[in-house]
Amino acid sequence: MTFQGQVLLPSQEALIQRLHHVASYSDQLLVLVGAQGSGKTTLLTALATDVDDSNTALVICPMHADNAEIRRKILVQLMSSPIFDDEIPLAETILRVAPNQSKPLHIIIDDAHLLSKELWAECIILNQVLCGGQRIALTLSVPPAFLADLLPQLPESLRRQILPMSVEPLSLPEREALYQTLLRYSDQNPFTPRDIVRAQLEKHDGTPQEVVTLLELALHGQSERKSVWVHYKVAVLGLCSLLITFLIWFGLAQPFSSEPTAEVLTYPALDSDEFLAHGQQILTPYFQQRAESLAQVLLTQATLQADPLAKFHGETPQEEGAAMEQPIDEATSKSEDIVATAAHSTPDEDNTVREKVDKEVPENNLTAGSKASALVRPTAGYAIQIATVSQRDTVESLLKKLHAVPDVRVAKYKQFWVVLVGQFSDKQSAQNAAAELVKQYRLSQPMIKKWAELGGYQLQDALPSGEISE
């Protein structure tokens, strides 16, 4: 039997007749099972050519084909009308045109293992559809591994609808006949003894592809070994070129000379003791300079805290006990002498001193009965320095604001006015009173001063109206 210029062996002709008989009289889905090179494509092509009493569609399934492409390839061979929707399942489309079909349909799909599971389900359903008075026949070819994986996934009812048929190996006489037939078609006559060919064919599994491979080997020689040697040769040449390039680069980067090479410095790890010691050694001068700068800043701040007015005049604070000479009038001098005498007098002499004070101090030098005591600077204790301003109006407004605060004094230091409050025996009492003033009158943080340090301050007379009388 011949088809399309090809000759079939007796076993292949018998298998085709069996396939044709099962497709015509069975209601099962026929699956042709065979390994690669066993001749499945040749058999299915011969089956599609030999069938004349049915409308046949032969599809060789390509890799990575979608469902619409496979449906389109089947329908264009079965339907005379080119109008159809390839997105609709095959059974629905064929049922629509089945009344117009006079012959039964036979669909042959080669390499069906490349179909999707959806198309396999459509083929199983399509096998039960009647067309032209008979069921639609389907013949599919798959490798053995695919069928062994597919059958366990199907339920028992669908598994019975699949009829596997295996492609048997060729017998040794058929292998020799196929070899000699193909050799005559090649128009070549290689000098290969028949016994050698027979011995080689006995080692094979009996597939037509093995016979074709043996014939190509006899006609063209060891082409595969030559190609392998070519690949090895290219790899060896590439490796040699890479080695030569590396040697040239190494020679240019480090020319051969008798000069000693520079020693490579290796630094310790970042978390090692050597690295920390090295860093400490580098940063020690910086931290020393920073400590000296900080000490200088603290010394300057201490100087400014001792006398904030020194910042405005460029002068250093006066030492404790030092007092600037200030002009005093005769009445003030006499009052101070009398007060000093009273400080060192005995109790018996106290009344005499007081009478002397009443006689010597003029009455017009006192205001509100406390002018003399207000202008007398205390020599011990602490005072609260409220403000230091240069405008007299600011001092008077501040005095009006503090009119309810006792022991408010105003002093003059060069061109600045200084407002002082109170005479406290210890520093803690002064700090407590300062906190109350800040809270009650919302003042800025005042300073605590010793009266002994305020020798250069000239106390002024503050009138009850808040004005200052110099």
User: Do residues 356 and 458 share a domain?
Assistant: yes
Average pLDDT score over residue span 414-443: 85
Q: What's the pLDDT at 2?
A: 46
User: Do residues 77 and 203 share a domain?
Assistant: no
User: Do residues 75 and 182 share a domain?
Assistant: no
For every residue of 349-402, DSSP letters joined together read HHHHHHHHHHHHS-GGG-STT-HHHHHSPPSSSEEEEEEEES-HHHHHHHHHHT
Chain center to CA of 277? 36
Q: Are 388 and 416 in contact (CB under 8 A)?
A: yes
Instruction: Evaluate if residue 431 carries a pLDDT over 70.
Output: yes
Q: How many residues make up the chain in this entry?
A: 470
What SS3 state is found at 410?
A: strand
User: Do residues 162 and 176 share a domain?
Assistant: no
Amino acid letter, 186: S
User: Do residues 41 and 151 share a domain?
Assistant: yes
Q: Are 8 and 2 in contact (CB under 8 A)?
A: yes
Among 263-267, 431-435, 462-466, the range of highest mean pLDDT: 431-435
Number of separate domains in the chain? 3
Instruction: Evaluate if residue 20 carries a pLDDT over 80.
Output: yes
User: Do residues 21 and 61 share a domain?
Assistant: yes
| % of the chain surpassing 90 pLDDT | 10
What are the tens digits of pLDDT across the range 359-375? 443 333 333 333 434 46
Residue 217 lies in a domain: yes
User: Do residues 12 and 131 share a domain?
Assistant: yes
Q: What's the pLDDT at 338?
A: 39
CA distance 56 to 74: 9
Average pLDDT score over residue span 426-441: 85
The region, left, alpha or beta by phi > 0 then psi within -120 to 50, assigned to residue 438 is alpha
What are the tens digits of pLDDT across the range 50-66? 766 778 889 999 888 88
Residue 312 lies in a domain: no
Which helix (H) or strand (E) covers residue 265, if one does? Answer: none
The residues facing 411 across adjacent strands are 418, 459
Instruction: Evaluate if residue 353 carries a pLDDT over 90.
Output: no
Q: Phi first, then psi: what are they for 225, rounded to 5°?
A: -65, -40
User: Do residues 451 and 345 share a domain?
Assistant: yes
Q: What's the pLDDT at 393?
A: 82
Confidence bin at 307 (pLDDT 50/70/90): low
User: Do residues 84 and 192 share a domain?
Assistant: no
More confident residue, 112 or 389: 112
Residue 323 lies in a domain: no
For every residue of 181-239, DSSP letters joined together read HHHHHTT------HHHHHHHHHTS-S-HHHHHHHHHHHHH-SHHHHHHHHHHHHHHHHH
- The structure tokens listed for 427 are 């520093």
Instruction: Evaluate if residue 218 carries a pLDDT over 50.
Output: yes
Instruction: Evaluate if residue 164 carries a pLDDT over 90.
Output: yes
Mean pLDDT of the chain: 76
Residue 125 lies in a domain: yes
CATH for 454: 3.30.70.1070
Q: Are 331 and 365 in contact (CB under 8 A)?
A: yes
For residue 244, CA distances in Å to 22, 230, 239, 256 come to 69, 21, 9, 17
What SS3 state is found at 132?
A: coil
Q: What's the pLDDT at 30?
A: 92
CA distance 166 to 144: 9
Give the position of tokens 């096998």: 127
pTM: 0.46
- The structure tokens listed for 181 are 């037939």
Residue 235 lies in a domain: no
Tell me the chain's radius of gyration from C-alpha atoms: 61
What are the tens digits of pLDDT across the range 100-131? 777 888 899 999 999 999 999 999 888 888 88
Residue 311 lies in a domain: no
Q: What's the pLDDT at 321?
A: 38
Pick the range with the lowest mean pLDDT from 3-7, 76-80, 364-368, 446-450.
364-368
User: Do residues 110 and 9 share a domain?
Assistant: yes
Instruction: Evaluate if residue 296 carries a pLDDT over 80.
Output: yes
Segments forming the whole domain that contains residue 98: 2-166
Chain center to CA of 236? 44
Residue 259 lies in a domain: no
What SS3 state is found at 272?
A: coil
Residue 100 lies in a domain: yes
Confidence bin at 80 (pLDDT 50/70/90): confident
Q: Are 141 and 34 in contact (CB under 8 A)?
A: yes
CA distance 397 to 463: 13
User: Do residues 15 and 109 share a domain?
Assistant: yes
CA distance 253 to 260: 15
